[in-house]
Structure 1
Amino acid sequence: MDFHILRLFRVVIVAAFIFHGSCYSQKAGDYSFMIDATSAPKLSHFDYIVIGGGTAGCALAATLSQNATVLVLERGGSPYDNPTATDIGNFANTLLNSTPNSWSQLFISEDGVLNSRARVLGGGTVLNAGFYSRAEDTFVEEAGWEREEIEAAYEWVEKKVVFEPEVKGWQSAFIDGLLEAGVVPYNGFTYEHVYGTKTGGTIFDRDGRRHTAADLLEYADPDMITVYLHASAHKILFTTKGSMRPKANGVIFRDANGVLHTAKLATHNSLNEVILSAGAIASPQLLMLSGVGPEAHLADRGVNPIVLDNPMVGQGMGDNPMNPVLVPSPEPVEVSLVQVAGIPHFGSYIEGGSGLSFSSNLTHSYFDGVINLLNEIKLPTENISSLLKSLDPPFDVTTQAGVMLQKVDGPISRGHLELRNTNPDDNPSVTFNYYQEQEDLNNCVEGLSAIVKVINSKVFSKYKYPGVSARGLLDLILALPINLRPRHIESLFDLKQFCKDTVMTIYHYHGGCQVGKVVDNDYKVLGIDALRVIDASIFLRTPGTNPQATIMMLGRYMGQKILRERADFLETEEES
């Protein structure tokens, strides 16, 4: 491989897999209940206030609107505003658009790993790689969910946004390579989490158009739901009279012009609630900003008043570590995001994609944003600055390559989240402690070893340059500034050290409001009335190979459960 090809793929791997995601398109103007927050009244009242119109929030709000008034506060805009940006072919270009009003917000963990947060109606489903796979049976059992209701909730999601992918050349060879590498049997197309190799669902249709959680709002009763866009929630309001338990009764939010508004819970029903569905970063952050969290930390950051001392808010943060291997191809490859998953009996999942495209102008823009953020949090910028120099002169590229990645199941390694300041629009400080636990590291090694077998398999040989070894492809990754962590390149190659040095996020972060620590088994915040959390922050580990199916399902499942509680309460009141 000559220097030009090496330089090209150095750029591509950084651009294409900084975020394991994609874009969006659908029908603009379908939803008259979507309103820019600048048009919101100063004071309004609703039965339920859902903070966050993301992966769980859209499903939850659509369900609740069948029998209650619902307000959704979404800090971003609508994914329908820019249809062309959401085609699968524009994956990387949309990802790298890190301007102030873009759909993703860059953040960097204290571990030195580049990451992003969604800020758009539909949440992470607008930005992810589209793979749809249900949770494993053990996850459902541990959660204590009713299996028949879970099945129905999954099907409710699937009817609206999920498709069977068209598996073409590169992905077909990837399947055969996994089988040759011993990830057997082949289970065909299925949403279920089963050992072996499978083709899963996708939220991209056959035309390459993305369908997201925002589409689930088509289920909503338009007369019962209001969605405020560009509405940044600043604080949950509580009543704290005397010795009574704190009770949530509203939310203060800010519109794009900086004007503050208040949404209150209607008082005609004591079951009305504020529900946090802002995601694993924003939900614990907003709890803290509202005075619920570790008292000493909140006082140190100037949060006032402190409503409830709970030192577990922000604890138990997990992010499944991912390590990629780029495989340049002598053959043309189709544009594909994740369609296939290898699920071995060890704790690592194997996935892949091919043929992504990007513009180096947007790559420059993205890394300019990285440098600005590093300067804000006082971290070194040398690695990123050197990458920007390598991108001159600007050029547009479609990659003739595939990428295989391993994602560690779980993980066992855990971190924490803390406030940097009291601005809800700023990123908090997040530490994930990737590969802190030996079991996670061992699973990474096994996953990468399986990928090496796939690369070296006979069936995959047409998509790999002759004479290029798997070790050479690993060395290529080591040479890339894919994160801000120090390299430990030794004469004796160490796969465990490779895992640590080349770790990236797969954007499946979770925790911070975990069950039994911050919320109870019904996801009600411990010690507080009329406040729940329903999103990935409640998880002790991530579900299945990819969590979006289960997070959307959870919104539907809990929405129905809440409505049943509401109906039972009203029936009891009528009888009395």
Structure 2
Amino acid sequence: MWPFSSNSFVQLNDLHDEYDYIVIGGGTAGCVLANRLSVNPEHSVLLIERGPAVDSWISRVPLFSASFGGSPLARKIQSVTDLVTGRPVDIYQGNGLGGTTLINSLFYTRGPAGQFDEWERNGAEGWGSKALLPYFIKSESVQYEASPRAHGTKGDFIRFCALLRLRLVIGEWSNRHNTGFFYSNFQHCADASEVLGFPHNPDVNDPDNIPVGWVRFPITRDANGHRISTARAFLSPGVLATRHANLHVCPNTIVERLVLEKEGDDLIARSVIVGPTDMKVGSEITKEVRIRGEVVLCAGAFGSPQVLLLSGIGPTEHLKEAGIPVLKDLPVGENLQDHFGVFSQYFSPLHESLLRIRHQPLYFILQFIEYLLYGTGALLAPVVQMGIFACTALLDDVRGVPSTSKHPDKNTIPDIEIMPLAYARGLVERDRSRGGFSYLTVLLTPESKGTVRLSSTDPRETPEIDLNYLSVPGDRERLRQGLRLSMRIAERLMESGNILEPAEAPKTDDDEALDAHIKDQACTTYHYSSTCAIGKVVGNDLKVKGTRNVRVADASVFPEIPAAHLQAPSVVVAEKCADMVLKAKD
């Protein structure tokens, strides 16, 4: 499955007794951190991943792999019953080396500079936009026309630097734009956005650009049309082969807990207890691995708090209820956030929809052949190619379009994202004669917060997750405004002669109709964050408060959820953490 030698990975029984650094979780951030910590051959590094190491051909094809519900590399868990929808939320996470970058939609968006600067003003020193920019650049190899001031670039800039004999480091992780719009309705949406007052932002990741307007999404895909997970980018066959002596990657393994000891006023992690992900009856094998230096949790917004809670770090009341001795009282598992989304769905001509792949077998065969021969076509998963970012504070309260008296600047923080999709579900999906087009309206900056709690002291059991969507009334009002804006965009397309027919879309834009639509069409966007937030659970150095050698480096540390898709900012957390860990050793 993985195109490496049999020596690329180690088994549980082959682990050394001690490592300098132990990274828990080989997902989006963990692969990056393992790479950076193991550059020095004198540092012994262990990366523990609960899922398998898989890099099959199918897992590289964007359309086949970008399927949260159908991918074998997706781990499904459920939240408690959500009060907005009246049903549990199906949660999918990447389950394998590379984490959710194995199954996500490939979008590389960093987040608005104004939000990072706001974090720094609120106490997260070192997490402002200027401090983070070098870390974004470090890992990135941008494959479209972009400013080298803001990006790790290739092409003419590299040739220019070579002529001047300038040494230039280019990151491992490529991102590029799709060539043109695969479906014409995307261009129609871009045109409608501009008419309504949303100009084109040519580079969503340039911090000097105004972050409100319509954008083309950069995607983490290589020149051959293959998905680039962080495993492929940062733990390539070459990396694992050359570092096998000091970098051990152990898949299908779980960390049960940290072994912590009190020393003075601090806790020190002495070792980790590890075991197989799937515990079979009669084979309950665990192993204790000592930590010479530091342990870093990269297990995500659910996994990282679960490990801390099982280790005795968390809210006192909850730990006592679970029967776990309290070593440190911290709000671990609180502050959970996600980008809450609502679909608005329309019938469209079949040729304007990815549903054509499903409804016309011959078309699928032709697209499959095109991908094999040229690396192009519908198998590149062009279901979403652009988005519209808006700030509701700058919208007209009545019409839901940009106000003529309020204007954004580069410090504006968008709180709504509207993603047109050449796809629809529900009623549209069941009609094989037509296609579907939809708008996913997403609340980017929710104030509502949920929780992650232990459901059991068994580390293999999934935690109890309460997403608590729209519990702050202002979130609902801003989401309504976003839905009104998506209605205006759809209306503009229909007025311009585009064939769109409402299927499951808001009937009117009054509050009652929008609330009914929210209840019916709400969904998660799989962007879980902030359960070990900076300032609350970890310090600005990402060390868990009250510990000397335990850090967290994944989406759980964001002070609040970034107004972006989370893979790019999660990698930056890993880059910055690696820098801090290595400097601390020096």
TM-score by length of 2: 0.75
Residues in 1 aligned to 2:459 and 2:225: alpha-carbon distance in whole angstroms? 35
Aligned with residue 11 of structure 2, among 32, 37, 42: 37
Q: Once superposed, what is the RMSD of the aligned Cα atoms?
A: 3.1
Residues in 2 aligned to 1:102 and 1:122: alpha-carbon distance in whole angstroms? 10
1:454 maps to a residue whose letter is I
Residue 447 and residue 187 in structure 1: after superposition, are their counterparts in 2 closer, same or farther (change >3 A)? same
Q: Contact 1:295–1:306 (CA<8 Å) still a contact in 2?
A: yes
The runs of 5 or more residues in structure 1 that have no matched partner are: 1-26, 267-271, 358-386, 477-488, 568-576
Q: After superposition, where does 1:250-329 map in structure 2 within 5 Å?
A: 250-256=271-277, 258=279, 259-266=285-292, 272-303=293-324, 305-310=325-330, 312-329=331-348
**Identical-pair percentage:** 26
Compute the displacement of 1:198 (Å): 1.1
Residues in 2 aligned to 1:157 and 1:490: alpha-carbon distance in whole angstroms? 43
Residue 522 in structure 1 maps to residue 493 in structure 2: no
Equivalent in the alignment of 1:197: 214
Deviations 1:34-62 (A, max 9, x none): 42534533x52111101011111111111
Residues in 2 aligned to 1:338 and 1:563: alpha-carbon distance in whole angstroms? 39
Residues in 1 aligned to 2:338 and 2:462: alpha-carbon distance in whole angstroms? 16
Deviations 1:368-393 (A, max 9, x none): xxxxxxxxxxxxxxxxxxx9xx99xx
Aligned with residue 550 of structure 2, among 531, 537, 545: 531
Compute the displacement of 1:516 (Å): 1.6
Residues in 2 aligned to 1:173 and 1:490: alpha-carbon distance in whole angstroms? 22
Compute the displacement of 1:411 (Å): 0.9
Q: Secondary structure at the match of 1:164?
A: coil
Equivalent in the alignment of 1:367: none
Residue 57 and residue 189 in structure 1: after superposition, are their counterparts in 2 closer, same or farther (change >3 A)? same
TM-score by length of 1: 0.76
Q: Contact 2:272–2:289 (CA<8 Å) still a contact in 1?
A: yes
Aligned with residue 239 of structure 1, among 253, 256, 261: 261
Q: Contact 1:320–1:408 (CA<8 Å) still a contact in 2?
A: yes
Aligned with residue 108 of structure 1, among 79, 103, 107: 79
Residues in 1 aligned to 2:530 and 2:455: alpha-carbon distance in whole angstroms? 18
Q: Contact 1:411–1:440 (CA<8 Å) still a contact in 2?
A: yes
Compute the displacement of 1:65 (Å): 0.9
Residue 120 in structure 1 maps to residue 120 in structure 2: no
Aligned with residue 212 of structure 1, among 213, 229, 234: 229
Compute the displacement of 1:203 (Å): 1.3
Q: Contact 2:108–2:219 (CA<8 Å) still a contact in 1?
A: yes
Residues in 1 aligned to 2:5 and 2:495: alpha-carbon distance in whole angstroms? 46
Q: After superposition, where does 1:332-347 map in structure 2 within 5 Å?
A: 332-333=351-352, 335=378, 336-346=382-392, 347=415
How many residues of Structure 1 are paired with residues of Structure 2 in the alignment?
Answer: 478
Compute the displacement of 1:206 (Å): 5.6
Residues in 2 aligned to 1:53 and 1:462: alpha-carbon distance in whole angstroms? 49
Deviations 1:487-525 (A, max 9, x none): xx9999521343244321101111221112111111111
Compute the displacement of 1:254 (Å): 1.0
Equivalent in the alignment of 1:550: 569
The runs of 5 or more residues in structure 2 that have no matched partner are: 83-87, 142-172, 280-284, 355-377, 393-414
Residues in 1 aligned to 2:230 and 2:110: alpha-carbon distance in whole angstroms? 15
Compute the displacement of 1:108 (Å): 2.7
Residues in 2 aligned to 1:76 and 1:47: alpha-carbon distance in whole angstroms? 23
Residue 65 and residue 331 in structure 1: after superposition, are their counterparts in 2 closer, same or farther (change >3 A)? same
1:352 maps to a residue whose letter is P
Residue 156 in structure 1 maps to residue 120 in structure 2: no
Equivalent in the alignment of 2:419: 351
Compute the displacement of 1:257 (Å): 6.2
Q: Secondary structure at the match of 1:132?
A: coil
Deviations 1:321-369 (A, max 9, x none): 1111222211413541433121112221111332589xxxxxxxxxxxx
Residues in 2 aligned to 1:498 and 1:413: alpha-carbon distance in whole angstroms? 20
Residue 48 in structure 1 maps to residue 21 in structure 2: yes
Equivalent in the alignment of 1:7: none
Equivalent in the alignment of 2:202: 188
Residues in 2 aligned to 1:296 and 1:60: alpha-carbon distance in whole angstroms? 33
Residue 196 and residue 396 in structure 1: after superposition, are their counterparts in 2 closer, same or farther (change >3 A)? closer
Deviations 1:299-337 (A, max 9, x none): 22232x432232x11111111111112222114135414
1:404 maps to a residue whose letter is Y
Deviations 1:211-253 (A, max 9, x none): 1111222367624311100011111111236x55220122111
Compute the displacement of 1:462 (Å): 6.1
Compute the displacement of 1:295 (Å): 2.4
